[in-house]
Amino acid sequence: MKPALIPTLTQTVLVLMLAPLLTGVIKNWKAKLQNRRGPPVWQPYVDLLKFLRKDMVVSEHASWLFSATPCVLFLSVLIVGLMVPMLSEQPPLKWFGGALAVIGLLALGRFFLALAGLDPASAFGGMGSSREMTISAIAEPAMMLSVFTVAITAGSTNLGQIVHTVAGQSTAFLNPSHLLAFAALFIVLLAETGRVPVDNPATHLELTMIHEAMVLEYSGRYLALIEWSASMKQLVLMTLIVNIFFPTGIAADWSAASAGRALLFFVGKLLLLSGAVVLVETTNAKLRLFRVPDLLSAAFILAALALLSTFLFK
């Protein structure tokens, strides 16, 4: 039950290197859609390098927790990245945790980040932490219920097993429960990655910000890790969605040929989903904070309907 070396290394590199690119692509496309030229797609890499090299200022009120959080966050998200089927149905850490561990580890990272938001004694950080924990709390039932729906169909919380089951059914994408669960998880994705209409990743120092408010006091190499983690989290959640609901092209094992083919499919699917995210971000306005629960309860209801329809259409 030990993770194999080559797949683990491949996927670690993939998660680390693909994440900033995805963020760059979404930023670029969003700008294009808004008739701006936009930053080049590799801008996030340059930013990360810049942050890593920069001097940093740490608040006098901050404790060791503030310094430990970037590492905890980075590692927890990276481990989640190794639990998600990316190129192959068999993720490297498949024995170490499935859907529940993924949700748990993401929550661990969020927990520490929220604490770090409170640590420097700034009102902005507290505001961000408070909002982040609130929104994640009301997003959690929808996420869990959608996960339950797919897990019940597959008879397993093991993500590889879920993907395998869905890949085995050629008409899975027509299954209403599948579509409803996809819709619910898509809304949760927007909330969890801090996208419009829940949060605006492009805003700084406005009273509407959530994620950016929490990390406001970070700079230098700490900020690099946090930004990188945010990108990785986005990549991981998007991977989860595309591979669970559209497992087309995913490899059954880790042989070089099938993994290469799977990589092409994987990138294609990610780009499609990013397109969807960009469209939603551009065509919607940010919701008022207290309208967000409505959106998320809609996601919850979609997930509940998804569950009901597994029951009805069997």
Residues 8 to 67 in contact with another protein, rule: CB under 8 A: 12, 16, 49, 52-61, 63-65
**For tokens 């996601």, what's the residue?**
299
Phi and psi dihedrals of 193, rounded to 5? -95, 5
| Nearest-approach distance from CB 279 to another protein, in angstroms | 28
* 108 is a contact residue toward another protein (CB under 8 A): yes
Hey, what are 66's tokens?
A: 């503030």
Residues with Cβ < 8 Å from 2, sequence gap 6 or more?
Answer: none
Number of residues that bind another protein (CB under 8 A): 95
Between 18 and 105, CB nearer to another protein: 105
Site for another protein in 80-99 (CB under 8 A): 82, 93-99
Could you tell me the two tokens for 278? 């960009």
Residue in the block written with tokens 């194999």: 4
| Rounded distance between C-alpha atoms, residue 197 and residue 215, angstroms | 20
Output 51 or 182, the one with its CB closest to another protein.
51
Question: Min. distance of Cβ 212 from another protein in angstroms?
Answer: 13
x/- site string to another protein, residues 251 to 290, per CB under 8 A? --------------------------------------xx
- Residues 140-159 within binding reach of another protein (CB under 8 A): 140-145, 148-149, 151-152, 155-158
Whether cis (ω within 30° of 0) applies to the bond prior to 197 is yes
Q: Which of 30, 131, 195, 211 binds another protein (CB under 8 A)?
A: 131
User: How far is residue 150 from each of residues 80, 137, 244, measured CA to CA in Å?
Assistant: 18, 21, 8
